[in-house]
Amino acid sequence: MNTPPLRGLHHVTAIAGDPQQNLDFYVGVMGMRLVKKSVNQDSPDTYHFFFADRDGTPGTGLTFFPWPGARPATPGAGKIVEVGLAVPRDSLSYWEARLRSHDVSVNPIEERFGREVLPFTDPDGMAAALVGIQEERSFAPWDDSPVPVEHQIRGLHSARILERSLKPTDTLLTRVMGFTRHGSDGEWHRYADSENSSGTIVELREVDERGSGNWGPGGIHHIAWRMQDDAEQEQLRSIVEKVGLRPSPQIDRFWFKSVYFREPGGALFELATDGPGYDRDEAPDKLGEKLILPPWMEERREQIEAALPDFVNPLQV
């Protein structure tokens, strides 16, 4: 099978509770830029927030659907249970102090696969980890961030998934998607590109659990993998279909194009094109300021806006 090259994570999408709390945390504490404020295209009475570096570089995006009042997520087999964010190795002590000063629930720094990691929990209970890296990542520093450029998040580092059985997902990753196995640390098995690069990593752990958990605030909805263009996406889509998984047709998300499928263990994967990008409908210096709707939803703007809760950007008050 002719598999396209593995380019790493494109974005990770999770579910939050209160939109204001979500924004205050990811912009005000984590120092990420709100690069797009939109709605859930499948349920336009809820927001869709996109946090990233200054430009929304593919591989830096953490996006949220805030579902205020929904029941919190519960982990289980087939659920994505942690997202790793890359920061410069020497910044971990800055981050530990910063998170503690904002009353974030932080675990002690630990070592995983030879790197120092600072695990923490976001205000909705989502497990995340800041991972100290030495290498340079392609990232656009954001001067208006409350976090100094030298400490800013460089992009997505990794995702962790619980699996009832390792083998089928191992086969998908290594035989279809171009991953290389990089051994294990404790109960976690690592897969990444051949260089084990930050941003290409997924880790699996086998769990002896019958339940598959539930989605809700604090839960990670899906992880998206970078596709250079439509042709590369179609190439992988057709291979995924041939091996018996059921990819969706290509869906136009306006800022990128998406194909979704469940990996054999049940976690939702997306293949997302790098382009056209978040500056397609807003000037680069205005990203995230307006509620942006894809053109086919514009005629319902008034109705959609009226149904959404108000919030303020912590940096614009």
Indicate the residue among 13 and 38 with the shorter CB distance to Zn ion.
13
Smallest distance from Zn ion to CB 256, Å: 8
Stretch that binds Zn ion, among 6-14, 45-53, 73-81, 82-90 (CB under 5 A): 6-14
Indicate the residue among 277 and 314 with the shorter CB distance to Zn ion.
277
The residue to which tokens 């295209």 are assigned: 41
3-state secondary structure of 183: strand
Kindly tell me the burial class for residue 216, based on how many C-beta atoms sit within 10 Å of its own C-beta (0-12, 13-18, 19 or more): middle
Smallest distance from Zn ion to CB 159, Å: 12
In whole angstroms, give the CA distance from residue 217 to residue 15. 5
Smallest distance from Zn ion to CB 253, Å: 7
Smallest distance from Zn ion to CB 3, Å: 21
Kindly tell me the burial class for residue 36, based on how many C-beta atoms sit within 10 Å of its own C-beta (0-12, 13-18, 19 or more): buried
Stretch that binds Zn ion, among 113-121, 151-159, 262-270, 276-284 (CB under 5 A): 262-270
What's the Cα-to-Cα distance from 261 to each of 79, 191, 240, rounded to whole Å?
A: 14, 19, 8
Indicate the residue among 9 and 172 with the shorter CB distance to Zn ion.
9
Q: Does position 270 bind Zn ion by CB under 5 A?
A: yes
Smallest distance from Zn ion to CB 156, Å: 12
Please list every residue from 186 through 225 that binds Zn ion, using CB under 5 A: 224
Smallest distance from Zn ion to CB 272, Å: 6
User: How many residues lie near Zn ion (CB under 5 A)?
Assistant: 3
Find out whether 153 and 54 touch, Cβ atoms under 8 Å: no
Please list every residue from 222 through 251 that binds Zn ion, using CB under 5 A: 224
Q: How far is CA 284 from the centre of its chain?
A: 21
Stretch that binds Zn ion, among 9-17, 27-35, 198-206, 210-218 (CB under 5 A): 9-17
Per-residue b/e over 175-205, b at no fewer than 16 CB within 10 Å?
A: ebbbbeebeeeeebbbbbbeeebbbbbbbbb
**Per-residue x/- track, 12-41, Zn ion (CB under 5 A):** -x----------------------------
Task: Please give the single-letter amino acid code of residue 252.
Answer: D
Indicate the residue among 196 and 250 with the shorter CB distance to Zn ion.
250
Indicate the residue among 193 and 270 with the shorter CB distance to Zn ion.
270
Supply the DSSP string of 277-304, one letter for each residue.
Answer: -GGGSS-GGGTTSSB---GGGGGGHHHH
**CA angle (133, 137, 140) in 5-degree steps:** 125
Stretch that binds Zn ion, among 10-18, 88-96, 111-119, 290-298 (CB under 5 A): 10-18
Smallest distance from Zn ion to CB 102, Å: 27
Smallest distance from Zn ion to CB 221, Å: 8
**What φ, ψ does residue 47 adopt, rounded to 5°?**
-70, 165
Please list every residue from 101 through 160 that binds Zn ion, using CB under 5 A: none
> Which residues form the interface with Zn ion (CB under 5 A)?
13, 224, 270
